[in-house]
Structure 1
Amino acid sequence: MKNPMRRFAKAIAYDERGSQILEFILVFPLVWLLIMFSFDQFSILYNKQKAMAAAYEAGRIASVQPNYGLASYHAAVRGEAELSQGIGVTDGTVRLQLEGRGWKKGNHLRAEATVSFLLLATGKPYEITESYYMMIENAEAKK
């Protein structure tokens, strides 16, 4: 009588039936994880770029306004319009901060854009904040 383990090993060595499905079962989860990771990384990178563009646009439009009130308004409108183009965005805000002594030509401002979104594959919430520094170019002279 032959050893049952030897007969089984011989059958596996010479019989390739079912090998493709076995390979699929072993490899598919790894490929699926790679695809999901790629989707999440893409959404993070794309929304990071949108946050940076929103901060830049907000700072650019704010730096040429005559006063801080108009600068804040136009920065929010321009920046939030840029943030709304992100992927899976749930919330986006744009803020201005003055660096220095008030709204004067030559002083600097910082535009900060924050975007919250859901990752494409996992659906987990994620938040990114980017900022951009600009010089105030067109402030009204106070008399």
Structure 2
Amino acid sequence: MMKKYTLGTLALGILATSACQNTSGQNEEAEKLATEAIEIHDEIMPQISTFSKHEILIDSLLQNLSLLKTVDSNLDTAETNKKFSTLKGDLESATDKMMVWMKEYVADSTDVNYQKAEVNRISELKTEFEQVTYEAESLLAPFKK
């Protein structure tokens, strides 16, 4: 009877040890993913100040469309208004999504699947930031001094 108990205890000990090692490995992977998510965040976050500057320029341009029309008589003010308004909305949306991500993100979560999903989420946001940056640079380039 004593041998069975000892073997059972030994088996439980081995299972517990392997479970702890597995958890440790998961923690390391979760930490690595969290670091990746924060690195992506840190890469794109500074663009928000540029987005704000673009929004100010867009507001100014929208208020002065008639003046722009006097400089370029071929300017379609309705189309230009639509483009500027759409761009401003895209800039605001990207900024809002970053704020929501930062508020919701749990950097110290040890859930590997959660961290993977968050890396995907912030990566998609990075792509959106790149697209909005390209749109802004293309549309606003003629109006920057």
The structure carrying a bigger strand percent of its residues is 1
Give the structure-2-normalised TM-score: 0.36
**Larger relative contact order (CA 8 Å, sep ≥ 6):** 2
The structure carrying a bigger helix percent of its residues is 2
